[in-house]
């Protein structure tokens, strides 16, 4: 997929897919949840939590309606701790 052309939905779908693959491969019990947030804006926050550890948050990132280069890069890098470099591409 071409960088800078991903929508927010595509990024979240990719995140869910990466989590599913990791759970299958490594036996982890992670899942993607929307991060509750009281503010308002054209963006959403997403967390990966560990069900085996009382839904402890492992990492989180943000999607927007525009998903410009900077936001995509930040989203990708924030989950590299789980999936390694370049997981979103």
Q: Which is nearer to other proteins, 27 or 42 (CB)?
A: 42
Tell me the Ramachandran region of residue 13: left when phi exceeds 0, alpha when psi lies from -120 to 50, beta otherwise.
alpha
Determine phi and psi for 65, rounding to 5 degrees: -70, -20
Tell me the Ramachandran region of residue 27: left when phi exceeds 0, alpha when psi lies from -120 to 50, beta otherwise.
left
Instruction: Name residues contacting other proteins, limited to 20-49 (CB under 8 A).
Output: 35, 37-39, 41-43, 45
Q: Which is nearer to other proteins, 24 or 88 (CB)?
A: 88
| Footprint on this chain of other proteins (rule: CB under 8 A) | 35, 37-39, 41-43, 45, 59-60, 62, 64, 66, 68-71, 73-74, 77-78, 80-81
């Amino acid at each position: 997929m071409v960088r800078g052309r991903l929508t927010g939905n595509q990024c979240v779908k990719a995140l869910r897919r990466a989590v599913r693959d990791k759970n299958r491969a490594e036996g982890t019990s992670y899942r993607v949840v929307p991060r509750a947030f009281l503010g308002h804006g054209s963006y959403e926050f997403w967390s990966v939590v560990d069900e085996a550890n009382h839904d402890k948050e492992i990492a989180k990132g943000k999607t927007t309606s525009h998903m410009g280069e900077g936001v995509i890069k930040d989203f990708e890098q924030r989950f590299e701790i789980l999936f390694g470099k370049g997981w979103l591409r």
